[in-house]
Amino acid sequence: MSLRAVGRGCFRGQALRIRHFAEERDMSESFDVVIIGGGPGGYNAAIRAGQLGLKVACVEGRETLGGTCLNVGCMPSKALLHASELYEAAASGELNSLGVEVQPKLNLEQMMKQKDASVSALTKGIEFLFRKNKAQWIKGWGRLDGPGKVLVTHADGTETTLQARDIVLASGSEPMPLPGVTIDNKRILDSTGALALAEVPKHLVVIGAGVIGLELGSVWRRLGSEVTVVEYLDRICPGLDDETAGALKRTLGKQGINFKLGSKVVSAQASSAGVELALEPAAGGATETLAADYVLVAIGRRPYTEGLGLETVGITTDKRGMLGNQQHRSEVPGIWVIGDVTSGPMLAHKAEDEAIACIERIAGHAAEVNYAVIPSVIYTKPEVASVGSSEQALKEQGRAYKVGKFPFTANSRAKINHEAEGFVKVLADEKTDQILGVHIIGPSAGELIGEYCVAMEFAASAEDIALICHPHPTRSEALRQAAMSVHGWAMQG
Ligand code: FAD
Ligand code: NAI
């Protein structure tokens, strides 16, 4: 279902309230900045613009602010990952082994309810931040209407024209469709459907061994599903450091996720009871069938530019439908682009960084996003976190580098907590010792990577980290030991 169709599904009462609001509004108000899209790109841009004293409006067509991330992405997925991890710790006997005897019973309805309540609190939090920073939310779908103009269509069909000196496009992304596998969000799901199932699938087939597939595959496996992940390539998580991806695949395999690598789904037949998939080897060959009661299609996301009115100002997209940018400027003066709708990793914190830099530039300040230091995290158990170059990327660049590795089995805190799977791997320039990339698979990897982001922003060497006092006993000591290992003197492993 398109974002607009979701937005149109509002209640009559809400539509009336919106109409009332529209009638009261100055029908062609002028702003310094109008932002289209209220996700992490758009809402952070609106807040920063408000802080800088710019008169700002953010046009968002959903019923709530927060975009994909808060409504159907980062936040609901993390809510289910957290709850399902606790459920599994109880159901697998892990808690019993610690002397905490429990007999858990899954209440899926409550698990979904607490997720929805958290999401609702977070989206309302953005509304509060808008009020606090004098950013105006214009509820409706916006489209460019020639230079300096945004036409907003409200849920009741009325329209408002906004004038703006600068316009920021932050319309985000949507799931990539797979030909032959039609998403109905009944049996064949996108991530939004897989975050809201009313029952635990007996057999969930996930198409795509990327971030969404592995996170949501983990959720449903923990809650009792058999999970099969079908991946076109002969590896999982393309782009992730090879060794780290290999370790993640092994550990997820041990947890019970089945992988069918080098395979493509060529068709899917959905019925009220389930789905029958036809699979072929990626390189071609004999077809096999696979039956599932639910299928999750997670083969990537694509920029969302539907109905943005790009043609009214002469902006074009590339072959993938993506908007180009030069330091957040589109090809048309006064129109800017940030977040998933433009190049770079499709991550909420990348959208946020671009939002800040873009608004600072609009306000006439200097600002830069350092694309070399954008961390990424996969919230499986154990977590995987990376920043900077992978080992294979350094090899391709012909860069001479050193590797320091430290296993969590040798980290006292991880060991005492019985979560000693994984390692920290630091890649540093052979001559200068500058840190070039860090890959962590292990407990709280997503929190740990922040230290190396700071280090890399300050162009630190591995030796800098090796010589910094870290608290004991913490997992962060593994970060220091890995840096020591770059120079061959890890003391505890
Ligand atoms: P979006 O968040 O997509 O927001 C764009 C908004 O624009 C939408 O609300 C849309 O309704 C609105 N819009 C579009 N067109 C118009 C229009 N014409 N008029 C008005 N409004 C419009 N990233 C992470 O960093 N960490 C994670 O853990 C993470 N988990 C994820 C889990 C899932 C299941 C998914 C799907 C994504 C996840 N992401 C995660 C990615 C993250 O959600 C995106 O990178 C981020 O939301 C991009 O922000 P954005 O503002 O560019 O776009
Ligand atoms: P992805 O790009 O992470 O992974 C897609 C996977 O599908 C790849 O492994 C790809 O090789 C595979 N694939 C592509 N076509 C295929 C086909 N026809 N058959 C089988 N496999 C195929 O995309 P995903 O998981 O959909 O996530 C989309 C975006 O959302 C990502 O870019 C990610 O950055 C973001 N996201 C981030 C999260 C995080 O930061 N923790 C969590 C979830 C999503």
Does 205 sit in the ligand 2 pocket, CB within 6 Å?
Answer: no
- Of ligand 1's listed atoms, the one at least distance from the Cα of 308 is 18
What are the boundaries of each domain within the chain? 30-174+303-363, 188-299, 376-487
Which ligand approaches the C-alpha of residue 40 most closely? Answer: 1
Q: Give the pTM.
A: 0.95
Does 231 sit in the ligand 2 pocket, CB within 6 Å?
Answer: yes
pLDDT at 27: 56
Looking at the DSSP bridge assignments, the partners of residue 324 are none
CA of 340 to the centre of ligand 1 (A): 7
Provide CATH code, domain 30-174+303-363: 3.50.50.60
Tell me the pairing of strands 226-230 and 258-260: parallel
Residue 7 in marked binding region: no
CA dist., res. 477 & res. 412, Å (int): 9
CA of 360 to the centre of ligand 1 (A): 22
Q: Do domains 30-174+303-363 and 188-299 have the same CATH topology?
A: yes
Residue 323, SS3 per DSSP: strand
Active site residues: 472
Do the beta carbons of residue 464 and residue 455 sit within 8 Å? yes
CA of 486 to the centre of ligand 1 (A): 38
188-299 homologous superfamily: FAD/NAD(P)-binding domain (3.50.50.60)
Comparing CA positions, the residue from 210, 205, 279 lying closest to residue 249 is 210
pLDDT band, residue 24 (cuts 50/70/90): very low
Do the beta carbons of residue 346 and residue 352 sit within 8 Å? no
Q: How does pLDDT run across 70-89, given as a tens digit for each residue?
A: 999 999 999 999 999 999 99
Residue 484 in marked binding region: no
Q: How does pLDDT run across 108-154, given as a tens digit for each residue?
A: 999 999 999 999 999 999 999 999 999 999 999 999 999 999 999 99
Task: Tell me the fold of 376-487.
Answer: Enolase-like; domain 1 (3.30.390)
pLDDT band, residue 15 (cuts 50/70/90): very low
The best mutation among 211, 218, 347 to test binding of ligand 2, ranked by most ligand atoms within 8 Å of the C-beta, falls on 211
